[in-house]
Amino acid sequence: MTTIAFLGAGMMGSAMIRNYLKAGHQVRVYNRTLDKARPLTEFGATLADTPAQAAAGADLIVSSLTNDVASRACWTGPQGVLSATLKPGAYAVEASTVSIDWVRDLAAQASAKGLRFLDCPVAGRPDAAEAAKLKIFAGGAAEDVDALRPVFMAIGTEVQHLGPVGSGITFKLIYNVMGAVQVAATAEGMAACEAAGIDLRVAAHCFSTGNTNSGHVIRHSRYMAENRHEDPVQFSGNMRIKDVAYGVELIEACGEQSRLGRATIEVFAQMDAHGMGDMNDSELIDTLRLIAGRPIPPKT
Ligand SMILES: NC(=O)c1ccc[n+]([C@@H]2O[C@H](COP(=O)([O-])OP(=O)(O)OC[C@H]3O[C@@H](n4cnc5c(N)ncnc54)[C@H](OP(=O)(O)O)[C@@H]3O)[C@@H](O)[C@H]2O)c1
């Protein structure tokens, strides 16, 4: 059993916390909005008022937070993890999708405090997190990844070691740019089919069974064809923009181009411009309908 401090009881965090508890670990939870974390006490979690309180003496500190701003506040803010009395040699794991620059900065600050730092972003939506079917992309020392592998298997099915610190988030950002391009292409393809008079259920079937298919195409073309989007929202248009912006920055810093990444940000920015940025990424098709002057069908 490991004492885990977990920062961020959002959709992904809450599911991971429940699975760590089910596996027999002790979990101390910090969430900015304390009330949202309260239901986790029914599963055995204890709540902390500050990230520092959660982290003090823990064996492993994990965060699953929106972006760089949230991660910085929880790790290095005034009552952040790094201000706590920490267990020497404890593991510090950033599981959020954040920027490479922030991960490098945090890794240096955490190591200076005697923590063993790993970047371990996850792939899989909240339903996969709930089912303990996440993929973990780990960056860090091989012995640290091996030491945590059994703990991570409580939340996922695969732990892939991508290389030293920073490699997990590097891969995850490239992976997410590719994924976001596919979601944007699905919305444009489905909208074009509709404009051309093609039945969207037939189109979704053909996209999902032909060489165009991928997990994103299969899931999102079905939502678009059925006008049945996820409720509550699982991944918004604005979260896509956040991920792809971090990804494009990283890819271009490597000396490569990301023209599709840049175009994808523009496509999703149209959702935000029409007040739809916090809706599901699959609802991009409705923004495209609005722009083209076609009616948005009622949700089913
Ligand atoms: N949803 C997905 O499909 C998915 C899949 C893979 C990876 N991810 C990544 O996982 C991370 C969490 O995503 P999620 O879907 O769980 O999001 P979420 O449900 O919106 O949760 C976000 C969490 O971040 C906290 N937070 C936001 N701003 C903060 C700030 N300034 N200071 C402190 N805490 C702050 C929120 O606290 P409050 O409750 O107080 O707002 C909440 O705990 C993100 O990096 C995301 O990109 C998501």
Task: Determine the pLDDT at residue 198.
Answer: 98
Atom of ligand 1 nearest to the CA of 98: 45
Q: E strand or H helix at 122, and its extent?
A: strand 122-123
Phi, psi of 295 (to 5 degrees): -70, 150
For residues 195 and 17, give the distance between their C-alpha atoms in angstroms, rounded to a whole number.
44
**Can you tell me the mean pLDDT for 227-236?**
95
Task: Determine the pLDDT at residue 150.
Answer: 97
d(CA 142, ligand 1 centre) in Å:
27
pLDDT tens digits along 38-86:
999 999 999 999 999 999 999 999 999 999 999 999 999 999 999 999 9
Asked whether the beta carbons of 80 and 51 are under 8 A apart, the reply is yes
Q: How confident is the model at residue 93 (pLDDT cuts 50, 70, 90)?
A: very high
pLDDT tens digits along 164-201:
999 999 999 999 999 999 999 999 999 999 999 999 99
Asked whether the beta carbons of 63 and 6 are under 8 A apart, the reply is yes
Task: Determine the pLDDT at residue 300.
Answer: 86
Name the closest-CA residue to atom 33, ligand 1: 70
For residues 174 and 178, give the distance between their C-alpha atoms in angstroms, rounded to a whole number.
6
Question: What rounded mean pLDDT belongs to the chain?
Answer: 98
d(CA 292, ligand 1 centre) in Å:
33
Longest dimension (CA), the chain: 64
Could you give all domains of the chain from N- to C-terminal order, each with its CATH number?
Answer: 3-165 (3.40.50.720), 170-292 (1.10.1040.10)
pTM equals 0.97
Residue 1 pLDDT exceeds 90: no
Name the closest-CA residue to atom 30, ligand 1: 70
